[in-house]
A and B are shown apart, each in its own frame.
Chain A
Amino acid sequence: MKSLYIAEKGGYWYKLPLKAKFFSLALLLLGILFSAHQTVLLFNLLVILLLVAPGSGGMVLLSRLKAFFFFGLFIIIFHSILNPANTIKVYFFGLEGALYGSVVAMRLIAVVAIAQSALITTPPKKIFLLFSSWNKDLGLIMFLLVGFIPVLEQELVNTSQAQQTRGLTWNNIIEKLIAYLAMIIPVIIKALYRAQGMAALLFLRGYDSQDRIMAKRSLKPLWVKGSRILIVFSLLFFLINLSLFAGLRLKVW
């Protein structure tokens, strides 16, 4: 399966150990979710982009964010015209709605930048290894899925061709719905039977989730040399945002 991972471009997000990277990105994400004021959010967005973009292949990240820039623009325009809180209007663009829309758009772009930087620099196999270290079965489910989805896709193509030779068409919405059912039901039934076979194979090969301890050994611990600065920085980012959020809510400032 094709994933969002892009092979090594040489940024520092590539070199970080997995646990440290995900921990610091999660803290940055929490910091973003707690920043509600537009000025704070704008500053945070700039910090995030400066921190994340050079470390994860720069232009790749920005090209993936391009669609969200346009969607953000759409959100701002939509809310500036239709938001019910609009009172001050310039022609038909309301200022309150535009402000609300820009907060949402900036938050969206920051969240996507963080998530994409994690997925660009980490191959899915390693993320599943992280799952395996929490629970063995969880990791197994993810690893089995990687092989299972292409099989289902092929099954879908086969079924679609078989049904088309029997005269299936989809021109209007009712026909489309019937076509959907005619294609998905055989795929589901075949998938269930395949599941039975694969479960028997797992049993025959002696899969017992209690014995697997590989994943835990292959992952570096959180607090290692080389990732400490980033963890401390993201912790500070989170704490500052949390205190700003609490201060704004409790009207300390």
Chain B
Amino acid sequence: MNRNLKILIIVVGIGINIIGGTLNSALKLPLFLDTIGTILAAVLLGPWLGALTGILSNVFSGIFTNPILIPFALVNGVIGLIVGFIALKRGYEDYVTPIIIGLVLAIAAPLVGSPIAVYVFGGLTGGGVDIIYGLLLGTSERIFTSAFLARIPTNLVDKLISAYLVFFIYRALPPQWKMLSSARREKKAEAS
């Protein structure tokens, strides 16, 4: 039963990622908001299954909508890993953890994403970020640095909102859902 629930949480995480991204583009928000499911799965199931959720959601939307999304699975996977390890270490019940996660992800996601974007697209996205990228390219004179810095502000807002959204949902979940994550934390505490 537990194993089946884990599989279904991964499915739901991927679904939320895709639906979140769709709703974001439907409302024309200048954010991504397509990692909520990854963060939720990483908090509930731990780092490795969280990373699997992230990678599979990009692979799935790559297969169905646009194959160029598949290389960015790496970014989503890294997000799952980072959130999973932080949640394993600190729990996800206090108000500080989402801030830490938001700040770490705001650096880590562009750090992994910009090299891919520079290699595949020359650093361009075809969106509003390109204007900041162009301005930075004129002043900093380095392609990677400009692509990295241009992505930080959007990512910071995006990941903070996602982390707090998951935080409020996680706190409201019934205890039997939290068992999945708290049991793992206790096991780790016993081992150490």
Residues of A within 8 A of B (CB): 1-4, 71, 74-75, 78-79, 82-84, 100-101, 104-105, 107-108, 111-112, 115-116, 118-119, 124, 127, 137-138, 140-142, 144-145, 148-149, 152-153, 156, 170, 173, 176-177, 179-181, 183-185, 187-189, 191-192, 194-196, 198-200, 202-203, 207, 209
Interface of A is mostly: helix
Q: A124-B63, A188-B40 are in contact. Are A108 and B138 (CB under 8 A)?
A: no
10 pairs, CB–CB < 8 Å, chain A vs chain B: A119-B63, A141-B7, A145-B15, A148-B11, A153-B19, A177-B161, A191-B12, A194-B12, A195-B5, A196-B5
Which residues does chain A contribute within 8 Å of B7, judged by CB atoms?
137, 140-141, 144, 199, 202
Q: Is the CB of A191 within 8 A of B120?
A: no
Which residues does chain B contribute within 8 Å of A183, judged by CB atoms?
23
In this complex, how many residues of chain B approach chain A with their Cβ under 8 Å: the count is 55
Q: Is the CB of B177 within 8 A of A192?
A: yes
Q: A74-B124, A78-B134 are in contact. Are A141 and B11 (CB under 8 A)?
A: yes
Which residues does chain B contribute within 8 Å of A112, judged by CB atoms?
67-68
Q: Is the CB of B67 within 8 A of A116?
A: yes
Q: Which of A71, A170, A194 contacts B126 (CB 8 A)?
A: A71
Q: A83-B137, A141-B56 are in contact. Are A74 and B126 (CB under 8 A)?
A: yes
Nearest residue in A to B44 (C-beta to C-beta)?
Answer: A192
Q: Is the CB of B121 within 8 A of A108?
A: yes
Q: A74-B126, A119-B67, A173-B29 are in contact. Are A196 and B8 (CB under 8 A)?
A: yes
Residues of B within 8 A of A (CB): 1, 3-5, 7-12, 14-16, 18-20, 22-24, 27-30, 33, 36, 40, 56, 60, 62-65, 67-68, 70, 119-122, 124, 126, 130, 134, 137-138, 140-143, 161, 165, 168-169, 173, 177
Q: Is the CB of A84 within 8 A of B137?
A: yes
Q: Is the CB of A145 within 8 A of B14?
A: yes
Which residues does chain B contribute within 8 Å of A124, judged by CB atoms?
63-64
Closest 4 CB pairs of A and B: A115-B67, A84-B141, A104-B122, A195-B8
Nearest residue in A to B140 (C-beta to C-beta)?
Answer: A84
Which residues does chain A contribute within 8 Å of B65, judged by CB atoms?
4
Q: A111-B120, A144-B11 are in contact. Are A184 and B20 (CB under 8 A)?
A: yes
Which residues does chain A contribute within 8 Å of B64, judged by CB atoms?
1-4, 124
Cα distance, A62 to B107, chains bound together (Å): 38
Nearest residue in B to A198 (C-beta to C-beta)?
Answer: B8
Output the least CB separation between A23 and chain B (Å): 17
Output the least CB separation between A101 and chain B (Å): 6
Which residues does chain A contribute within 8 Å of B161, judged by CB atoms?
177
Which residues does chain B contribute within 8 Å of A75, judged by CB atoms?
121-122, 124
